[in-house]
């Protein structure tokens, strides 16, 4: 089956630093989605990417859909303490199958 490799697994950074995380896939996806999950809550959609090469921003967040359709990255600029949480990438194959394949998550800790 499809596999997503998300890295890094965890990050410890100082407030104000920039962060980058990425996901790579063994197969092609038609859609990449990035979510943030706080403890005890459901994932919240941050950015959705629908086309290869697409670069999309949402405030301090920027994500790109890799040109090969097998990878995506998420950057967070000027991190703040509330950025703490687990970030998941998810890929969707498309067609009539809307199931998401999730990465294992990146745990972000921001030190004030």
Partner 1 sequence: GAVVSQHPSRVICKSGTSVKIECRSLDFQATTMFWYRQFPKQSLMLMATSNEGSKATYEQGVEKDKFLINHASLTLSTLTVTSAHPEDSSFYICSARDFRGATGNTIYFGEGSWLTVV
Where along the sequence are the contacts to partner 1 (CB under 8 A)? 30-31, 33, 35, 40-45, 48, 50, 88, 90, 92, 94, 98-100, 102-105
- State the Cα angle at 7 between 24 and 50, rounded to 5°: 40
**Which CB atom, from 10 or from 16, has the smaller least distance to partner 1?**
10
Strand 55-58 and strand 71-76: the pairing is: unpaired
**Which CB atom, from 18 or from 58, has the smaller least distance to partner 1?**
58
Q: How far is the CB of 99 from partner 1 (least distance, A)?
A: 6
Q: How far is the CB of 65 from partner 1 (least distance, A)?
A: 12
Taking the C-alpha atoms of residue 110 and residue 89, their distance in angstroms, rounded to an integer, is 19
Cis peptide before 8 (omega within 30 of 0): yes
Q: How far is the CB of 30 from partner 1 (least distance, A)?
A: 7
Q: How far is the CB of 77 from partner 1 (least distance, A)?
A: 21
Question: If you write DSSP's letter for every residue of 29-65 in order, what string do you get?
Answer: -SEEEEEEE-TTS--EEEEEE-STT-EEEETTEEEEE
**Which CB atom, from 45 or from 80, has the smaller least distance to partner 1?**
45
């Amino acid at each position: 089956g499809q596999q997503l490799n998300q890295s890094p697994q965890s990050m410890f950074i100082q407030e104000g630093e920039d962060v980058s995380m990425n996901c790579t896939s063994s197969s092609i996806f038609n859609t990449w989605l990035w979510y943030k999950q706080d403890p005890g809550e459901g994932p919240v959609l941050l950015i959705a990417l629908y086309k290869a090469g697409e670069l999309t921003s949402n405030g301090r967040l920027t994500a790109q859909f890799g040109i090969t359709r097998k990878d995506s990255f998420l950057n967070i600029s000027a991190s703040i303490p509330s950025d703490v949480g687990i970030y998941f990438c998810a890929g969707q194959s498309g067609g009539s199958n809307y199931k998401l394949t999730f990465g294992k998550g990146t745990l972000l800790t921001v030190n004030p």
